[in-house]
Amino acid sequence: MSDRPRALVIGGSVGGLFAARMLHRAGWDAVVYERSAGDLAGRGAGVGITRELLDALAAAGAEIDATIGLAVDSFVWRDRSGETLFEYPRAMGASAWVRIYQALRTGFPDRDYQSGRVLAHVEQDADGVTAIFEDGSREKGDLLVAADGSLSTVRAYLLPDVSPRQAGYVAWRGVVDAADLPDTARREIDGHIVFSFDRQAAGGEMMLTMPVPALTAEAGPGGRYYFIWYCPAAGDAFADLFTDERGQNHGVSIPPPLIRPALIQDLRDRAAQMFSPGTAAVVARSQQPMLQAISDLASPRLNHGRIALLGDAAFVARPHVAGGITKAAMDAATLVDVLSDTGDVAAALSAYDARQRTLGNGLVDHARYLGGYVLPEPGHVPPDEKTIMRDYGAPHLLHDPDAAVFATRPGDAP
């Protein structure tokens, strides 16, 4: 047995891997317990990247190269004809969830990443914290990091009344290979996040389209294009979206292959009527659009003795702040920081709670404000299109506009 302090990290996605890697570098034994038995690399889609995220990847010792992200120089609002209505200069990086995950998983020791381990319950006493798994096995540690996502088992135990709050709208998402898109469409999007809006009396629709990297570094830069399209949906219309061909309703998310083809055709038809030719082509040519209800979540506290909530287990901001991965990374960095300040784990976690709760609440609130364009919160005046573009991605909390994060562009040589 090692005499180093021992951390049990529940959840082996980006949040858990950031935490475990940083704990290793700070001298901890840290083992990740991940519910899924298979590879997680098939998950996710396009993500915005920030200077904070790059710094955290470096602090976690993850190796990345310039192909992990593509440079975006401006946010552009285009109308149906493709005409630019407004352009807002903004340096940002666009990446893909899988690329961040792979950077974190590669080089992380397999002996410390246990797949197929499903946490059922936690116990703690003065000596330590114990994770109890569904198969009855137990692991004891000095610290337990709950990085088990928005439906966290650990949070349900600590804070049973806290659960995701539905926003009243959905997001369609899809990805298309560059080779499947006409040159004209690529030219419309390259170097930009293209915003498409459709304002209606009681809210509106909003779509973002951007270039994202290929699935692997070997494929070189400039591989794919991604869209995310927010649409209000309530009552029967909402239930209908998540109902498959056999009439089975899937709640708030549906496996992409079970989305009814007629809904996808309707999406493509509406994109052709509403959006610019290039962005409508991304919708039309995305092979397997994904659909999910948008929700958010704010935990009133992130610590409980030797247990810390981290990443989406702690806070979920709607995707408009493009910050879930960055926040998980910042949570991990703060956690390791406070643990190195004191040997008293419970005291360190109180400091962690104070620091990260402010950030989490700020992101949730800002994303609600931006999402007001799609469905205004009662009593709130929704932001207009130009304000959304200015405030997108929470520039006051993340996404420092002065930090030009990437130089790689679609079509650059690898």
**In what side-by-side order are the strands of the sheet with 29-34?**
113-115, 29-34, 6-10, 143-146, 307-309, 303-304
d(CA 352, CA 95) in angstroms, rounded, equals 28
Smallest separation (angstroms) from ligand FAD to the CB of 43: 7
Residue 16 binds ligand FAD (CB under 6 A):
yes
Residues 6 or more apart in contact with residue 81 via CB below 8 angstroms: 276
Distance in Å, CB of 147 to ligand FAD, minimum: 5
Exactly one of 22, 28, 29, 34 binds ligand FAD (CB under 6 A); that residue is 34
Query: 263-302 mask for ligand FAD (x: CB under 6 A)?
Result: ----------------------------------------
Interacting residues of 126 by C-beta distance below 8 A, sequence separation 6+: none
Task: Tell which positions 134-163 bind ligand FAD, by CB under 6 A.
Answer: 147-150, 153
Single out the residue of 91, 118, 219, 403 in contact with ligand FAD (rule: CB under 6 A). 118
Site string for ligand FAD, 83-102 (x = CB under 6 A): --------------x-----
Query: Which of these segments, 14-22, 242-250, 266-274, 360-368, binds ligand FAD (CB under 6 A)?
Result: 14-22
- Judged by CB under 6 A, which stretch of 35-43, 65-73, 178-186, 346-354 contacts ligand FAD? 35-43
Q: Which is nearer to ligand FAD, 96 or 185 (CB)?
A: 96
Q: Which is closer to ligand FAD, CB of 35 or CB of 268?
A: 35
Environment class of residue 200 by beta-carbon count within 10 Å: exposed (0-12), middle (13-18) or buried (19+)? exposed
* Per-residue mark of binding to ligand FAD, 188-207 (x: CB under 6 A): --------------------
Considering beta carbons, is residue 211 or 311 the nearer one to ligand FAD? Answer: 311
Alpha carbon distance 408, 404 (integer Å): 11
The sheet with strand 138-141 has its strands ordered as 119-124, 129-133, 138-141
How many residues would you count in the chain?
Answer: 414
Q: Does 174 bind ligand FAD (CB under 6 A)?
A: no
Which is nearer to ligand FAD, 258 or 347 (by Cβ)? Answer: 258
Q: How many residues of this chain bind ligand FAD (CB under 6 A)?
A: 35
CA distance 280 to 267: 10
Rounded (5°) CA angle 382-383-385? 125
Contacts for 101 with CB less than 8 Å, ≥ 6 apart: 13, 14, 17, 40, 41, 43, 44
Shortest distance (Å) from residue 333 CB to ligand FAD: 14
Which one of 13, 196, 356, 408 is in contact with ligand FAD (CB under 6 A)?
Answer: 13
57 near ligand FAD, judged by CB under 6 A: no
> DSSP 3-state assignment of 333?
helix
Contact 243, 249 (CB under 8 A): yes
Cα dihedral 42→39→95→187 (10° resolution): -30
Shortest distance (Å) from residue 85 CB to ligand FAD: 23
Q: Which is nearer to ligand FAD, 263 or 347 (CB)?
A: 263
Token reading at 142: 């000095």
Asked if 291 contacts 242 with a C-beta cutoff of 8 angstroms, the reply is yes
323 contributes a contact to ligand FAD by CB under 6 A:
yes
For ligand FAD, the closer of residues 145 and 280 by Cβ is 145
* Interface region with ligand FAD, contact rule CB under 6 A, candidates 57-65, 74-82, 190-198, 320-328: 320-328
Cα–Cα dist 401/232, whole Å: 30
> Considering the rule CB under 6 A, would residue 10 count as an interface residue with ligand FAD?
yes
User: Which residues make up the interface to ligand FAD (CB under 6 A)?
Assistant: 10-16, 33-36, 40, 44, 47-48, 97, 118-119, 147-150, 153, 171, 173, 311-313, 319, 322-326, 328
